[in-house]
Amino acid sequence: MGTFIQAVDGTKIYVEDIGSGQPVVMLHGWPANNNMFEYQKNRLLEEGYRYIGVDYRGYGKSDAPATGYDYTTMASDINEVIQQLKLTNVTLLGFSMGGGIALKYLLNHGESNVSKLILAGAAAPIFTQRDGYPYGMKKEEVDALIEDTKQDRPSMLKGFGEIFFAKEHPEPLLQWFHNLSVDASSHGTIQSAIALRDEDLRDGLPKISVDTLIMHGKKDQVCPFEFAEVMHKNINGSRLEVFEESGHGMFLDEREKFTETLVAYLKSGQTV
């Protein structure tokens, strides 16, 4: 069932809370919503897990306030979800921007309620290039993406979708995914793109001590594979699962492997 959690500033955050058992909190990527995990949700429910799909502020069914799209505020929103739903022994999966938000949540609010972390195609530790980090887009390229969003958001999203997957997918499936992003608020899309451009989580990686699985597409054109290598090197004890045939959207490019890897990790906690 769907429920709304009130954030610290009064923003209503929509949460799809279905099933029972161990909770799996799923954090979506920019600029979609929790429905991007439709196929994984179905499998989790079959396996007896509790699916907790969060729509960030500005996305899906959540409120879209004027402010609060930085990682600190969005991580606070996730904390309110976990606290108000009284979730423990959580597996926290963060995809793309959700990976950065998941890391920010753990760094700001602690690991006491989280037993496992999955960083899937994470836009972390940094999304844009800078000194000592030659990976990802240049800040100027994100600025151009933001300007395109201001001028013609649907066309920007179509172009973004063209580099999202490495495999061919049926047009109705691509249209479904496109529609998830069109549904987002324009200003939320812009403001969280600014957060993507500017956030730097490098110093926090060595502080992560929760059991961590990194899943990343080798052909990722949005968050290059080097992101995963940096995270794997700096998060102690982390494991890296490579998706050789996937771009950024590995949850559809290698849907069966992505879902089975997720379920196996949930069941064993140690062996993928």
What residues are annotated to the active site? Answer: 96, 220, 248
What whole-number distance in Å separates Cα of residue 86 and Cα of residue 83?
5
Contacts of 161 (CB under 8 A, 6+ apart): 174, 177, 178, 181
Report CA torsion sign: 30, 35, 37, 39: negative
Answer whether 104's CB lies under 8 Å from 205's CB: no
- The first and second tokens of residue 131, run together, are 């000194």
Provide the phi-psi class of 108: left if phi over 0, else alpha when psi is between -120 and 50, else beta. alpha
Task: Please report where in the chains the tokens 């949930």 appear, as a residue.
Answer: 266
At 197, give phi and psi (nearest 5°). -65, -35
What whole-number distance in Å separates Cα of residue 42 and Cα of residue 197?
33
Closest by Cα among 153, 147, 161, 158 to 184: 153
b/e string for 116-134 if b means 16 or more Cβ within 10 A?
bbbbbbbbbbbbbeeeeee
At 4, give phi and psi (nearest 5°). -115, 130
DSSP lists the bridge partners of residue 130 as 133
